C-alpha cells in the first residue's frame, strides 16, 4: 500500500466507527477517525512506523513528557474538494515548524519523509472521514512526545511521533469578545512562545478562564514586560485594519509564525493592500478606535481560519467594533482562503497539496 520510501505497516480496524458519525453535529476535537499514525524514535533514529486503529497508548508513568512537558504539536486541516480530491494546505510548512519546535525543546527532527508519508497514507486510509460542506474539514493533529521511562531531568532518548485526525465543523460560530490581558502573559523573549510547545497552552488556561468568567471568549495577550503592545489572541495571530492598512505584530520570540497569518498577509499584498508587520500598542488601537479608524480586528489560525472580533475589553471598558460587511477585508480573505484550500480558485502560490 505504501508508495514512498518509508516502510509503514498498516493494521486496519476490524470495525469502522464511521457509520456512527453525525456530520451535522461535530463537536471540535472529540470524535477521532478510525486510524492513527505512530512512529518511534530510539538509538538516534526513526525506527518503527505504523498505522493502527485509533486507541489508547501504553506509556510508562515515568515518561518525561508527563513530568517535564517535553511535548510539541502541530495543527492542520484536510479538505474534500468539490471534484472529490483530498487536499492539504501548505503541509510542508507544518513539518518545518514542527522541527523548529523540536529543536527548541531538545527533541529530534521528524524528517519530511516520516511526516508526509505517514500523513498521506493515514489520510488515504481514513479519507471517508473528511466531512464535506460549509466550514467542515478533517482537523489533523501531529504531535511528538518524549517517552523515556526515567524521571531525571534531561532530554529523552526515545520519542513517539503520532498523527490523529478529527472531523470538525466551524470553530467559532460568532464574532469574539476579547479582553486585553494586563496581568498574565503568554510569552517572553528567550522563552518558547514562537514554538508549539504543549506547555504554552497549559499555562494559558487559567488566565483565559478568568476572562470567560467576565463574559469574554478569549484574551488578547500583551508583551510580558510592559503589557503595552498586543501580541496574539488566544492561540491565534492577531490582525487589525486601521484606515486602509492591515497591521499585525511582527514575528519574533514571542509570536508564533502562523501559516494562516503568512497566507493572509500574502493575499493582502496580492490585492495591493498596505501591510505593516510591526509593534502595535493598545494605545494606538484605542486612539484609532476613538478616531473612527479601527475598521476590523481578527485572529488567524488553522482551527478558526479567521475569527472576527466584535468587542475589545480594556480595563473594564468595552469597545464595540463596526459591524462586518461583505466588503470587509477579513470577510473577503476568509472566503479566498476557503476557496484556495478547497481547490475552487487558482492556486497561485502553490499552497495546495494533492493527497489523492
Ligand atoms: C498554532 C498557533 C497559531 C496559528 O498558526 P497557524 O499555522 O495559522 O495554524 C497562532 N498562535 C499560536 C500561539 C499558535 O499556537
Question: 30: domain CATH number?
Answer: 3.30.470.10
Q: Which domain holds residue 208?
A: 176-341
Confidence of residue 24 (pLDDT cuts 50, 70, 90): confident
Separation of 80 CA from ligand 1 center, angstroms? 23
pLDDT, tens digit, 9 for 90 and up, residues 263-319: 999 999 999 999 999 999 999 999 999 999 999 999 999 998 999 999 999 999 999
Give residue 173's pLDDT: 75
CA of 75 to the centre of ligand 1 (A): 8
Q: Indicate whether 164 and 180 sit together in one domain.
A: no
DSSP state, 286? H
User: Confidence class of residue 26 from pLDDT cuts 50, 70 and 90?
Assistant: confident
Q: Provide the CB-side half-sphere exposure for 181 (13 A, CA).
A: 29
261 CA: nearest ligand 1 atom = 8
Residues 163 and 209 in one domain: no
Whether 65 and 100 map to the same domain: the answer is yes
In whole angstroms, how far apart are CA 147 and each of 22, 29, 95?
35, 24, 21
Is residue 236 within 6 Å of ligand 1 at its C-beta? yes
Question: Do 160 and 180 share a domain, yes or no?
Answer: no
Q: What is the pLDDT of residue 28?
A: 83
Residue 260 Cβ inside 6 Å of ligand 1? The answer reads: yes
Q: Which of 254, 251, 248, 249 is nearest to 189 (CA)?
A: 254
This prediction's pTM: 0.96
163, 95 Cβ separation under 8 angstroms? no
Q: Do 130 and 270 fall into the same domain?
A: no
CATH of the domain at 195: 3.20.10.10
User: Is the same domain home to 97 and 132?
Assistant: yes
Clarify whether residues 140 and 183 are in a common domain. Answer: no
State yes or no: pLDDT of 10 exceeds 60: yes
Confidence of residue 170 (pLDDT cuts 50, 70, 90): confident
Confidence of residue 4 (pLDDT cuts 50, 70, 90): low
Mutate to test the pocket of ligand 1, among 139, 235, 249 (most ligand atoms within 8 A of CB): 235
| Protein residue with least CA distance to atom 12, ligand 1 | 235
Is there a domain that residue 132 lies in? yes
Q: Which atom of ligand 1 is nearest to the CA of 196?
A: 15
Q: Is the CB of 264 under 6 A from ligand 1?
A: no
Tell me if 56 is assigned to some domain: yes
Whether residue 141 sits in one domain with residue 274: no
**Same domain membership, residue 254 and residue 310:** yes
What values do phi and psi take at 87, rounded to 5? -120, 140
Q: Flag whether 21 is in a domain.
A: yes
207 and 324 belong to one structural domain = yes
Flag whether pLDDT at 215 surpasses 80: yes
In a domain, 349, yes or no: no
Q: Are residues 225 and 113 in the same domain?
A: no
Residue 302 CA, closest ligand 1 atom number: 9
Assigned domain for 354 exists: no
Q: Are 168 and 134 in contact (CB under 8 A)?
A: no
Nearest CA to ligand 1 atom 14: 235
Whether 92 is in a domain gets the answer: yes
Question: What is the per-residue pLDDT across 117-160, written as a single tens digit (0 to 9) for each?
Answer: 999 999 999 999 999 988 899 999 999 999 999 999 999 999 99
Question: Is the CA virtual torsion 233, 353, 125, 82 positive or negative?
Answer: positive
Residue 187 alpha carbon, nearest atom of ligand 1: 13
**What is the rounded average pLDDT for all residues in the chain?**
95
Judgement on whether residues 20 and 65 belong to the same structural domain of the protein: yes
pLDDT of 172 reads 67
- Average pLDDT (84-94) is 97
Structure confidence at residue 27 (pLDDT)? 83
Number of domains in the chain: 2
3-state helix, strand, coil in the chain (%, to 5): 25, 30, 45
Amino acid at each position: 500500500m505504501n508508495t514512498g520510501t518509508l516502510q509503514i505497516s498498516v493494521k486496519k480496524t476490524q470495525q469502522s466507527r464511521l457509520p456512527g458519525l453525525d456530520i451535522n453535529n461535530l463537536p471540535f476535537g472529540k470524535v477521532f477517525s478510525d486510524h492513527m499514525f505512530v512512529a518511534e524514535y530510539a538509538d538516534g533514529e526513526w525506527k518503527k512506523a505504523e498505522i493502527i486503529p485509533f486507541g489508547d497508548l501504553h506509556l510508562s508513568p515515568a515518561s518525561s513528557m508527563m513530568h517535564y512537558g517535553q511535548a510539541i504539536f502541530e495543527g492542520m486541516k484536510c479538505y474534500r474538494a468539490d471534484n472529490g480530491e483530498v487536499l492539504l494546505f501548505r503541509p510542508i510548512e507544518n513539518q518545518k515548524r514542527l522541527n523548529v519546535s523540536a529543536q527548541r525543546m531538545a527533541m529530534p527532527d521528524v524528517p519530511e519523509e516520516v511526516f508526509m508519508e505517514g500523513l498521506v497514507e493515514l489520510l488515504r486510509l481514513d479519507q471517508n472521514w473528511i466531512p464535506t460542506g460549509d466550514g467542515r474539514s478533517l482537523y489533523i493533529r501531529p504531535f511528538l512526545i518524549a517517552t523515556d521511562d526515567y524521571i531525571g531531568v534531561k532530554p529523552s532518548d526515545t520519542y513517539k511521533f503520532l498523527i490523529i485526525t478529527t472531523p470538525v465543523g466551524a470553530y467559532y460560530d460568532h464574532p469574539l469578545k476579547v479582553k486585553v490581558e494586563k496581568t498574565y502573559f503568554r510569552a517572553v523573549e528567550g522563552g518558547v512562545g514562537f514554538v508549539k510547545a504543549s506547555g504554552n497552552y497549559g499555562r494559558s488556561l487559567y488566565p483565559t478562564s478568568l476572562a470567560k468568567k467576565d463574559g469574554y471568549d478569549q484574551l488578547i495577550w500583551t508583551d510580558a514586560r510592559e503589557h503595552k503592545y498586543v501580541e496574539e489572541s488566544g492561540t491565534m495571530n492577531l490582525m487589525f485594519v486601521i484606515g486602509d492598512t492591515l497591521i499585525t505584530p511582527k514575528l519574533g520570540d514571542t509570536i508564533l509564525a502562523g501559516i494562516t497569518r503568512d497566507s493572509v498577509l500574502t493575499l493582502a499584498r496580492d490585492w495591493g493592500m498596505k501591510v505593516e508587520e510591526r509593534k502595535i500598542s493598545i494605545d494606538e488601537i484605542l486612539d484609532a478606535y476613538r478616531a473612527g479608524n479601527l475598521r476590523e480586528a481578527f485572529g488567524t489560525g488553522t482551527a478558526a481560519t479567521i475569527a472576527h472580533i466584535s468587542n475589545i475589553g480594556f480595563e473594564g471598558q468595552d469597545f464595540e467594533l463596526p459591524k462586518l460587511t461583505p466588503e470587509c477585508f477579513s470577510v473577503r480573505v476568509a472566503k479566498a482562503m476557503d476557496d484556495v484550500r478547497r481547490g475552487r480558485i487558482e492556486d497561485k502560490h502553490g499552497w495546495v497539496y494533492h493527497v489523492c
